[in-house]
Amino acid sequence: MTAIHLENLGKTFSSFTALRNMNLEIADGEFVALLGPSGCGKSTTMNMIAGMIDPSEGAIRFGDRDMRGVPMSRRGVGFVFQNYAIFTHMTVYENLAYGLRATGVAKAERDRRVRDMAEFLHLTPLLKKPAAGLSVNILQRLAIGRSAIMEPAIFLLDEPLSNVDAAFRAVMRTELKHLQREFRQTMVYVTHDQLEAMTMADRIAVMDHGKLLQVGTPIDVYNNPSSVFVAGFLGSPGMNLVKGKGVESDGIKRVDLGEAGVSAPLPAHLSDSVPEGASVFYGFRPEHCELTDGEGLRLPVTFVERIGARTIVHMGSDGSAVKCVFDNRVPVRTGEVVSLAIDPSNVRLFNAETGAAIGGAN
């Protein structure tokens, strides 16, 4: 069994609490990304799973085995860090073979596994090359291979792609996912890059300030964020969050969005949860904006950002600042006032005081 159970896990450094009350079940063979901004406690969580630091509170179990007091070397975990740990005086072959040799794997088996892994990671032509002369990209690929070749039941990766260049990162996202499917390891992947988390993970665990905020499939968390933090953190740009107040006329609930006007009627699953006068954030994704000649939110265009296939149109100001993503033919200009229609099924509401989502999922 290689499922990972984190139970009320907490870590305090002197008087600073880096992680509080974390509960997370990672299934055998699952790929979970710990996602959050710098300092939110991702690496601390990972280091406790690896056995590099001890929890201050709570427990870690691998299957039904309590990991308390079990040293890293006996946990059956593979670990890859942001900075590749490669023996630069050895060749690529020797680096890949190193762990197998150290654990007494017979020569023929060792050779087969090295060649298979090299093939898998496109390192075959480099097998005889000394690691010293390789690029950062290739060294990081080698570091992943060197850890993966040991076929650990649990594979832990802490920001492994943050030092490689953007094009290579895109390639490695696909390779890492293939690697995990091939070897069926339980994988925990730490990143602050939502693209990595969204594209690779079976589930993402969003963290902030030492707390686990939401866990779910990437699409579920993206579509139904549990808080304004998650709504704004996921997506590029993040979800629009316009402050407003619940209003009702003729039995129809809407949100008064100040200068932008009044929203379209709220769908049933939201209208029941918004009392008149309640302060809310009216949320919608930038890709859910539609320009209309009819009724809609009225917003002045402040900036038109053309980035190839997409155009990001910035509108409104401060409390009602909105970004919308259109294709590159959108006929808007800075200074004009546009009318925006938002399909009510794409609207999410959040309590303006607590930041929590209102009304459940659509």
Candidates 36-44, 105-113, 134-142, 173-181: pick the segment binding ligand ATP (CB under 6 A).
36-44
Candidates 38-46, 217-225, 231-239, 256-264: pick the segment binding ligand ATP (CB under 6 A).
38-46
Which of 22/315 has CB closer to ligand ATP?
22
By CB under 6 A, is residue 51 in contact with ligand ATP? no
| Closest by Cα among 82, 86, 83, 73 to 145 | 86
Dist CA 295 CA 342 (whole Å): 10
By CB under 6 A, is residue 240 in contact with ligand ATP? no
Q: Is the peptide bond before 237 cis (omega within 30 degrees of 0)?
A: yes
Q: How far is CA 116 from CA 88, 146, 148, 195, 356, in A?
A: 21, 12, 11, 29, 48
By CB under 6 A, is residue 41 in contact with ligand ATP? yes
C-alpha 77, offset from chain centre? 22
**Which residues in 59-98 contact ligand ATP (CB under 6 A)?**
none
Largest CA distance in the chain: 81
Residue with tokens 């589930």: 203
By CB under 6 A, is residue 147 in contact with ligand ATP? no
Dist CA 134 CA 87 (whole Å): 12
Q: How far is CA 179 from CA 31, 84, 85, 147, 307, in A?
A: 11, 18, 19, 12, 33
**Minimum CB distance to ligand ATP, residue 15 (Å):** 10
Which of 18/289 has CB closer to ligand ATP?
18
By CB under 6 A, is residue 36 in contact with ligand ATP? yes
**Minimum CB distance to ligand ATP, residue 201 (Å):** 16
Q: What is the DSSP letter of 220?
A: H
By CB under 6 A, is residue 44 in contact with ligand ATP? yes
**Which of 5, 20, 42, 146 touches ligand ATP by CB under 6 A?**
42
Pairing of strands 297-307, 337-342: antiparallel
**Minimum CB distance to ligand ATP, residue 232 (Å):** 17
By CB under 6 A, is residue 152 in contact with ligand ATP? no
Dist CA 76 CA 191 (whole Å): 22
**Minimum CB distance to ligand ATP, residue 135 (Å):** 23
Site string for ligand ATP, 179-218 (x = CB under 6 A): -------------x--------------------------
By CB under 6 A, is residue 54 in contact with ligand ATP? no
Strand (E) or helix (H) holding 10: strand 4-13
By CB under 6 A, is residue 323 in contact with ligand ATP? no
**Minimum CB distance to ligand ATP, residue 200 (Å):** 17
**Minimum CB distance to ligand ATP, residue 360 (Å):** 29
DSSP 33-84: EEE-STTSSHHHHHHHHHTSS--SEEEEEETTEE-TT--GGGTTEEEE-SS-
By CB under 6 A, is residue 10 in contact with ligand ATP? no
- Residue numbers at the binding site for ligand ATP (CB under 6 A): 13, 16, 18, 36, 38-44, 192
